[in-house]
Structure 1
Amino acid sequence: MRIIIVGCGKVGRTIAEQLSEENHDIAVIDPNGVAIHDVTNNFDVMGVVGNGASYNVQMEAGIENADILVAVTGSDELNLLCCLIAKKAGDCSTIARVRNPMYNKEINFIKEELGLSMTINPEFAAATEISRVLRFPSAIKIDTFAKGKVELLEFIINEDSMLHDISVADVTKKVKSDVLICAVKRGDEVVIPNGSFMLKENDVVSIVASPLNSGSFFRQIGVQTHQVHNAMIVGGGTIAYYLSEILLAMGIDVTIIEKDRERCEQLSELLPNAVIINGDATNQDILIEEGIEHCESFVSLTGIDEGNIFLSLFARNRSKAKIVTKINRISFDDIIHTFNLGSLICPKFITAEYIVRYVRAMQNTIGSNVETLYRIADSDAEALEFKIRENTPLVGIPLEELSLKDHLLIACVSRNRKIIIPNGKTQIAVGDTVIVVTTQKGLQDIKDILKK
């Protein structure tokens, strides 16, 4: 597909990288020539230096033949204008990043009136993801499918866990819950396990289950399942605002520590039920004074990755809190994971997931559609949700008779509000929602799970 990306910041660069890996024809627009040079040198994309809201610049980038324009500059208004011009100049699908909380309350009106195909708010999406793990603190990541009826949870096997040194097949015998272990990350390796695969301490395990069954599973393996009662948030930016709104609505007490006095005053007006502290959280005395040793969750959301890492390390050493760390610039590598920073949140990757999901949905054939896509196991695997339509070649055939690709698992089937953890006799039907977990990238249609 022909895709134009306006804006080469952290988000735009990540989207360009991931879409170019999927062999799309990409053009990027940015007024910063250095940013364009960096992106075009590192990825197979075309670059145009200029204002993305300019008709002539969009024409130079090929808007007349474009399928999608994605506007992710730092300005909401500029993004909306870019999309409006693209609709007139190229009649393509348009996606705009809209971050301002003021617009968030009226986003449906904006989307409808401007004819946008999609709007993305990375900060709100990040806040939503953080709120999920604070609701279920034993998990380090929670993704939802089938409109919330199915969850995919990642967690780490601790050294004293009953799951250490037993096979996947034995888990189902010991734990009487309808869950499926669908992926295991061990060091640099990600495995789609079979029944004989032996689980070990420090493995990052992904399971698929209904919310009820996932709760039962964690209780049986001796892990807490109740949501936290309070949260200490460092950094008072947009993510902190969105997160605080969600947590307060969940009945969770919120304390925000922010060093900018003017921003503290704004937050006090916006969040009257939260405790706002004007102070520098890099001063450990402030964290201790505000009760870090007794807090149940700690979320570091400053604009500096290194600062977030050190804050989370301090919180880990001084409390038993559920820890969430925002990382935006530093790559997810082995060094980061050795720090044990709890749940890692990266808004640019969340945004890229939304874009890739939409692009794959546009490419679908008559058989099925990518409804949801998540990158799991540090983006080394994908979990995809397909809606099964008429003429799908898999319908009515027992799964054991299908020739599935390697390193791939049909993890769950949702049918008429019923969640099915499939076995070899299970058959897929029209109207089902099917969840597939795989280390193979680029699946666009349910038929792509079959060997050719």
Structure 2
Amino acid sequence: MNVLVVGAGEVGSHLARFLTKEAHRVTIVDRDAKSLRRAARVTDVQTVEGHGASYPTLEKAGAAKADLVVAVTHDDELNMVACTVAKRLGARRTVVRVHAAQDLLDNQFIYKDILGIDLIISPEEVTALEILRICRGQNATPVENYAGGRLQMRRLEILDDSPAAGKSFKDLKMVNSVRATGVVRGTEVSIPRGDTVLRSRDYVMLIGLPEGLDKTEKILGGRRDLPKRVLVSGGGPIALLVARDLGALGVKVRIIEPDREAAEQLSRDLEGAEVVHGAGTDMELLNQEGVHRSGYFISLTPNDEVNLLACQLAKSLGAEKTIAMVNRSDYAALVARLGVDHAVSPRKLVARRITNWVRSESQGAITQIHHGAAEVLDLGVSKDWAHAGRKLMDIPFPQESVVGGIIRGDDVIIPGGDTVAETGDHMLVFAKREVLEEIAHLFAEVASPVPEEPTA
């Protein structure tokens, strides 16, 4: 596969190393000759010096023949323009890294339609998801957010004492706003039907609205060990997302922000979370804010050293567990030695998310399930599609697939058999690997032209 990576920073270099190990041909584009030389020293790549959104530069780098273009610079606009230009040149698939602009996350499917981008990924969103996964401490874990979090995918393990163990889906009172899209049993993935019986140690893949997913977890025996209180140092976009997610679960969140104006703005943006002006390394302030009563202390400032020090201080003052945001790869070995319980790296999480996605060559793939045994596809309904305007029950979807959700403009729909596929819809289709080609053929079917009335 020919891959073009725009941006020779840590994420771009990490991606290039991974892709070359899997025998892909990689070209990196960057304006900084020093960064290109550094990337070329550690992996076998071609390099092109120039502006990543420049038509001549992308043409020189081979975007027209690229199977994949990934734009991961720190400039959101450059990334989006680079992928739009690359797609116009002929690139098959494109991935854009953007920071957490809420409008973009909420309307990502609209931007994908307009710009032709296949995958939009936010470092802030994937990091907040990882922190939420750590804090939830349960058998149900978040997998992916769609449409700015209005639609979610979660994976829930059926425990030995679960009320769902030994029961079929038709015997369980499932919530209408949730669709069970897959069951992972050992190495196998299956599409659940009404008579599918759940067993202990099965993993159920669920797509639905957040409040419906919370109710479904209770029905299936979800177990939570949520902290009652969480103290966060650093009030940036990740802190905002974490506070909202944990607050929705009933966790009391307090945020310490060193910039007074930012603290005041954050206080206005957040409902239910308390924001305090100060430094997360101020021992007196940490004691005042009750760090010793916190289930988690999370440090999310832009400075790795400050985050590690703050977590050390919080731990020494009685915080039960700590999470530090750490971007420098050479600090990874220090985390355990310093007594920090968890470290999260936005750069590494983005690189991991993209590398997992790269393994799929299916058009429209946005999430891989169980090492590629199944995938979630984002498939648009065009006006020319042969099945536009038909009910889902009348569309010949393969047996090993299910439509888990539909994004229709600003609306999120959990479909039933009577739901009609409308032009402009984005269908989230959960499908096993063996039927991916069949699904591609299904969505490539074009409606027959209506014959013109003969003129008199």
| TM-score category, normalised to shorter length | 0.5 to 0.7
Task: Return the offset for 1:68.
Answer: 0.8
Q: 1:209 to 1:240 in 2, by over 3 A?
A: farther
Q: 1:88 to 1:433 in 2, by over 3 A?
A: closer
Q: 1:33 to 1:25 in 2, by over 3 A?
A: same
- Per the alignment, in what secondary structure is the counterpart of residue 361 of structure 1? coil
User: Which amino acid in structure 1 is aligned with residue 154 of structure 2?
Assistant: G
- Give the distance between the partners of 2:44 and 2:125, measured in 1 at CA: 30
User: Which amino acid in structure 1 is aligned with residue 47 of structure 2?
Assistant: G
Task: Return the offset for 1:21.
Answer: 2.2
Provide the aligned length of Structure 1 versus Structure 2: 322
Task: Return the offset for 1:387.
Answer: 2.6
| Partner residue in 1 for 2:453 | none
Q: Say whether 1:115 aligns with 2:116.
A: yes
Is the contact between residue 76 and residue 97 of structure 1 (CA under 8 Å) also seen in structure 2?
yes
Q: Which runs of 5+ in 1 are unaligned?
A: 153-171, 180-206, 213-223, 374-382, 389-413, 417-430, 435-452
Q: Say whether 1:25 aligns with 2:25.
A: yes
Is the contact between residue 254 and residue 275 of structure 1 (CA under 8 Å) also seen in structure 2?
yes
Q: Say whether 1:384 aligns with 2:371.
A: yes
Task: Return the offset for 1:332.
Answer: 6.6
- Per the alignment, in what secondary structure is the counterpart of residue 27 of structure 2? strand
Q: 1:226 to 1:256 in 2, by over 3 A?
A: same
Q: 1:309 to 1:208 in 2, by over 3 A?
A: farther
Task: Return the offset for 1:90.
Answer: 2.0
- Per the alignment, in what secondary structure is the counterpart of residue 371 of structure 2? strand
Q: Say whether 1:97 aligns with 2:97.
A: yes
Q: Say whether 1:301 aligns with 2:300.
A: yes
Is the contact between residue 257 and residue 275 of structure 2 (CA under 8 Å) also seen in structure 1?
yes
Q: How do 1:366-445 residues align onto structure 2 when only pairs under 5 Å count? A: 372=368, 384-387=371-374
| Partner residue in 1 for 2:133 | 132
| Partner residue in 2 for 1:47 | 47
- Give the distance between the partners of 1:292 and 1:274, measured in 2 at CA: 15
State the Cα deviation string for residues 79-104 of structure 1 (Å, max 9, x = none).
Answer: 11111101111242111112123322
- Give the distance between the partners of 1:252 and 1:315, measured in 2 at CA: 19
Q: How do 1:74-85 residues align onto structure 2 when only pairs under 5 Å count? A: 74-85=74-85
Task: Return the offset for 1:7.
Answer: 1.5
Is the contact between residue 144 and residue 150 of structure 1 (CA under 8 Å) also seen in structure 2?
no
User: Which amino acid in structure 2 is aligned with residue 229 of structure 1?
Assistant: K
| Partner residue in 1 for 2:273 | 274
Q: How do 1:119-268 residues align onto structure 2 when only pairs under 5 Å count? A: 119-136=120-137, 144=143, 147-150=153-156, 210=203, 225-268=224-267
Task: Return the offset for 1:363.
Answer: 7.3
- Per the alignment, in what secondary structure is the counterpart of residue 232 of structure 2? strand
Task: Return the offset for 1:301.
Answer: 0.8
- Give the distance between the partners of 1:338 and 1:209, measured in 2 at CA: 36
- Give the distance between the partners of 2:324 and 2:204, measured in 1 at CA: 24
Q: 1:262 to 1:298 in 2, by over 3 A?
A: same
Q: 1:252 to 1:308 in 2, by over 3 A?
A: same
- Per the alignment, in what secondary structure is the counterpart of residue 329 of structure 2? coil
- Give the distance between the partners of 2:21 and 2:336, measured in 1 at CA: 25
Q: Which runs of 5+ in 2 are unaligned?
A: 145-151, 166-199, 206-222, 376-399, 403-429, 434-456
State the Cα deviation string for residues 194-243 of structure 1 (Å, max 9, x = none).
Answer: xxxxxxxxxxxxx975489xxxxxxxxxxx94211221111112211111
- Give the distance between the partners of 2:92 and 2:53, measured in 1 at CA: 15
Q: 1:276 to 1:87 in 2, by over 3 A?
A: same
- Give the distance between the partners of 1:297 and 1:58, measured in 2 at CA: 45
CA RMSD, aligned part only?
3.4
